Structures are given as structure tokens and as C-alpha cells.
Structure 1
């Protein structure tokens, strides 16, 4: 079933994922996030992830991820290591299984497409744009909106994460 979900989900994405993965290592901030189930990215939800750091391991065959969540209103730091599989899809466990792919990378922004399968088997499709700075240009926002809509996530389901991100910088 996981293979089917991955194939279906990633077939919906039209964007190119050509990038030099080694250049993604560094500090990042989640700016916007979209989901087909907005409850998963609401203020204290488990998938309202506030990205802080990415680090390529073994030529990016693994990706170390550091982020914050606020399940009880208090920032909790989380670290995970994702492993790359076929078609440049990474897999990591956090609040269930997460399968994600870098859909767009350019200089100081990175856009992810994620399929999250929670412990009950419920599937949520998400997009996320993170940046080196705390803001995006209008062009970057438009690119994110286009990729989100192409992922069958309504534009109205995009949430501004940076506006309420009061967790530590690292």
C-alpha cells in the first residue's frame, strides 16, 4: 500500500527536482505549509513542523533534519534522519511514516512535497517551503502556490508558519 501511495502522490507533481543535494546543508526556516487535511498543520498539530537545519549525510543518501513542534504550546526540538529511496524519495518516522521529496530548490528556498501516513493509516498530502531568511519574495510565494495546487492541495489550505514561529532559532 505504501508503494501505491508513493507512486500516486509523486505522479501528481509536475515540478523538476534537479538540484545539487549537497547544497541543502544549512539553516532553514519553514515559511509556508499546505495540506489536504489542514488539521494536521494547525497551530499545535504534530505536522506543523518548524524546520531549523538540514544536513546531507553520505552524499545525501541520508538527510538529518532538525525541527521544532509545539504539541502542548511549548517548543519541542526534534531530530530525525531520513533515508533516500527510489526516485529521490526520503523516508522518515515522525508521528507516523513520512515520505518526502525535494520538489524545488534554488539558492535560498527549498520546497518539499510530503505524504504522511499516521498511526491509523490516514494519509495526508503536504507541501512546505522553507528559506534561509524569514521571508519570501512574491515570486517565491507564487512558485509555492503553483506547486501546492499541482499537488491537489487547495490554495486556501496554505498556512503561514513563520508568523507564529516563536521557537528558538536552532
Structure 2
């Protein structure tokens, strides 16, 4: 099964400030191991991440590549693999098609895996934008309560989205997926 992950606040620590270097990119405890466990259970892992810090001039594509290289090396050291990373480098005012909640990055992921649709894939995020993008592509939406997740969960009480599963963190989600043999 394909599992699509948001990055900031799901895999790595995120407090609302831009992460501008590999040194600032710090995994949430248990997230790297969770990705590796999902891989070892036969799941494919893709990442869809908004990175407007590039358009804002806070960091460049080389810095983003270094962050992703760090992520991939950490996952590989645990025996896992990130199959594909899609990122949106645009500013929100650019009105691009890839910035979540739009689905351009999910379309890239679908095309990368040569799939007709993403129906049934999981979209794991910490924000409403992640969940909305996943729902637009018939993914199963999952909210983790790391990063912006607690705030997102609070707002979902007044503006709910359908069929959103909620977990404390990526490790708890991985435990559930693996234990239910999905």
C-alpha cells in the first residue's frame, strides 16, 4: 500500500518556524523508525511537502536537498526507504497547482508510481491542507497530533472532514497499520 506523508510536523519537529538547513531538520522521536517499519511491512512511502521557504528566500533547493538527503539516510540506516519526495517551492500567492490543499504533488506521486488513482492510499498530515489534498484524490486521511495536529484536531470539531483517522504520532499510525495488516 502507498502511504503519503507530509514532512514538517509529521516526520520532523515543527513549531511554525521555517526549517532552513539539514542541521535544523530534527526528526520527531520514533518517526524514522516508523517509516522503516512501514517499509519492512511492504508499504511504499512518498512525501508531499509544501516548502514556500524557497520562494520566500529563506533557503534554496540545495538546502532542501540536504534536508531530504538527511531524511533518506536516516530511514535507510533503519532498513527503510523513501520511494519518492514531491515538494512545492512556491509562495502561497503564486497560485500554483502543487501547493496543498491542491493536488499537484499528489498527481506527481500518482504518476511516479504509474497508478490510475490514489484511491485507498493513506495521506498522513498535521494540517487541514494535508487532509483536504488527500480527500480530493480519494486517499484515506490521517491526522497526527504532532506539529500542528492538535490545533488542526481542535478546528475539525467545528469544521469536520469525513473519515479522518487520528493518531498521537507517526509511530502510533505505523503500529495501527502493521497490526491491522493493511
TM-score (norm 2): 0.34
Q: Which has the higher strand share?
A: 1
TM-score (norm 1): 0.35
Q: Which has the higher helix share?
A: 2
